[in-house]
Amino acid sequence: MNAFFDYGTDILTVSKVLAIASGTLKAGFSEISLERIRRSEQAVKDIVSQGRTVYGINTGFGILANTSISESDTRTLQYKILQSHSVGVGEPVSAEIATIMLITKVHALAKGFSGVQLTTLERLCWHIDQNIIPVVPEKGSVGASGDLAPLSHLCLPLIGLGEVFYKGIRRPAADVLQAEGLAPVTLGPKEGLALINGTQFILAHAVKAVQRLHNCLEAADIIGAMSLEALTGTKAPFDERLHQLRPFDGNLLVAQRLRNILDNSAIMQSHIDCGRVQDPYSLRCMPQVHGASRNAWLHLKELTETELNAVTDNPIVFTADDTISGGNFHGQPLALPLDYNCVAAAEIGNISDRRCYLLLEGKWGLPILLMNNVGLNSGFMIPQYTTAALVTENKTLCFPASADSIPTSLGQEDHVSMGSISGRKLNQVITNLEHILAIELMSACQAIEFRRPLRSSQVLEAAHHHVREQVGFANEDRIFARDINIITDMIRDFSFVGAVDSFAASNGIRLNQNFDTFSLT
């Protein structure tokens, strides 16, 4: 990864936007980008001075597109659009989501087709660099003419309005600007429209979903393999020859990972001639089920990275004499894959819950409910109630928001994507999935200890050890919610997958080979 990212010129990826957001990658403007920005800014000034009528520059917005605005009012028009469109409701999105919105907005505007002033972009960069992040309500976008409401809130601090998170405290933007010795930005013609037209709210949620779902998919393979070991299942269904006959990339990757994760397991070797013909689907069909979700994830990643480098403004300014009012702000290209990935994420939780259930049945040498003294103790019965509840909640969240459309702007905007809802919904499904996987991991760690003194593979023993450093074996009932939350945090902060990957790499074990497209980097 380069030490410096050039807004508007370099190719932005999911990993790079996350690195900029975390402060590990610096970003700014090269001379090439500066020239594009200045040329576009001048084109808008020329449109105004020549008296040409261009939507959003010297006309009203939406249904008011045919209302002319005088040259003297073009700046006031941009100020008012930020005010009038700031109608978001609900809790604020996380500071990280808002930061990603800022980064992706700067990158899109710096491509030089939006007519914004360099000073405006520099102020947006100041917010990123100083970690002074606008407060953006989570609800209010229909994902059509861009994410109008959330982007308006994102950009209110530019003109001294709205709120920001400042040193961890929510404060009025005007007070913070004064404390920092800065005056509000004076917006030029078209700038207000350029700032709020775009898909950056949908896009920020897609970026986080790509990162978080990738982590869950990696974890699911490890955890599923541990459950398979605890249930003395076979790895025969992961044979590469089988999957080459149906060569979906996601299936091939998961089968490969499972083979590598389970390699040299004494537990596996101990029952190789046990006579059990087939395992339940939740064990032997992991490559097909996890793999299908991998394929869905890859599609979302590819489309997200296309959008990361797109211009989603309207109108597009090529030159002062060449502008096009189109629909690049429409959220449908991301809304559909975000909805599709709700199903992909929910299905990983669904199959994980089934493995949790199998671990409790008392079959294949495991004690019923994974505890020796049940009756007085309920054992691991009730954690599976939670996975069942979360799986059902995820099913209700799988209704595609993009399948609905409610016309706005008195019919001018007569088809909308609802992609903002798709993005928020997907991240909620992933949050539930992290809990489900944590409960399976907790149960599998308990179960595998009933196979002692036999040991599993190096990789799975390392995964088990990582959990046991913080959560011990349960001889009797306790408040399992504490254990679930600790293990969920291991999954959510990427430390579980990170620890397993680090162990594998340091021992020369390659879990992923020849499937670079499925990587975040």
CB contact set of 411 (below 8 Å; sequence gap of 6+)? 63
Q: In which residue are the tokens 């001379």 written?
A: 31
Residues 240 and 179 in one domain: no
DSSP collapsed to 3 states, 371-396: CCCECCECCCHHHHHHHHHHHHHHHH
182 lies in the same domain as 240: no
Do residues 422 and 440 share a domain?
yes
**Are residues 87 and 193 both part of a single domain?**
yes
Asked whether residue 321 is domain-assigned, the answer is no
318 located within any domain: no
Contact 202, 427 (CB under 8 A): no
Count of domains forming the chain? 2
Q: At residue 62, does pLDDT exceed 70?
A: no
**Does residue 260 contact residue 511 with C-beta atoms inside 8 Å?**
yes
Task: Look up the domain containing 278 and give its range.
Answer: 205-311+329-518
Whether 361 maps to a domain, the answer reads yes
Alpha helices by DSSP H, listed for 231-367, are 240-244, 249-261, 266-270, 281-284, 286-308, 332-360
Q: How far is CA 336 from the centre of its chain?
A: 15
Angle at 496 between CA 493 and CA 499, to 5 degrees: 115
Residue 504 lies in a domain: yes
Q: Are residues 225 and 190 in the same domain?
A: no
Beta strands in 98-202 (DSSP E): 133-134, 137-139, 163-166, 169-172
Q: Which of 147, 163, 198 is the last residue of a domain?
A: 198
Closest CA relative to residue 403, chosen from 346, 343, 349, 351: 343
Last residue of a domain, one of 157, 176, 198: 198
Asked whether residue 380 falls in the same domain as residue 398, the answer is: yes
Closest of 161, 163, 150 to residue 197, by C-alpha: 150
Closest alpha carbon to 477 in 376, 407, 384? 376
Do 238 and 357 share a domain, yes or no?
A: yes
CATH at residue 225: 1.20.200.10
The Cα–Cα gap between 471 and 449 comes to 13
Give the mean model confidence (pLDDT) for residues 8-25.
Answer: 98
Give residue 64's pLDDT: 61
Q: Mean pLDDT of all residues in the chain?
A: 95
Kindly report, residue by residue over 156-188, the tens digit of the pLDDT: 999 999 999 999 899 999 999 999 999 999 998
**Together in a domain, 164 and 295:** no
Specify the CATH number for the domain of residue 81.
Answer: 1.10.275.10
What is the reported pLDDT for 276? 82
Report residue 150 as tokens: 């959330």
Q: Confirm whether 323 is domain-assigned.
A: no
Is residue 316 assigned to a domain?
A: no
Is 458 among the domain residues? yes
Task: Mark whether 263 and 288 lie in a shared domain.
Answer: yes
Written as six digits, the tokens of 271 are: 């029952």
In terms of domains, do 93 and 230 share one?
Answer: no
Q: What is the pLDDT of residue 1?
A: 44
Whether residues 225 and 177 share a domain: the answer is no
Domain boundary among 146, 167, 198: 198
Catalytic residue flag (residue 79): no
pLDDT tens per residue across span 218-227? 999 999 999 9
HEC sequence for 48-69? HHHCCCCCCCCECCHHHCCCEC
Q: Which amino acid is at 482?
A: R
Name the active-site residue from 7, 55, 166, 340: 55
pLDDT of residue 471: 98
Domain match, 65 and 213 both:
no
Q: Is the pLDDT of residue 312 over 70?
A: yes
Does residue 370 sit within a domain? Answer: yes
Q: Is the pLDDT of residue 145 over 80?
A: yes
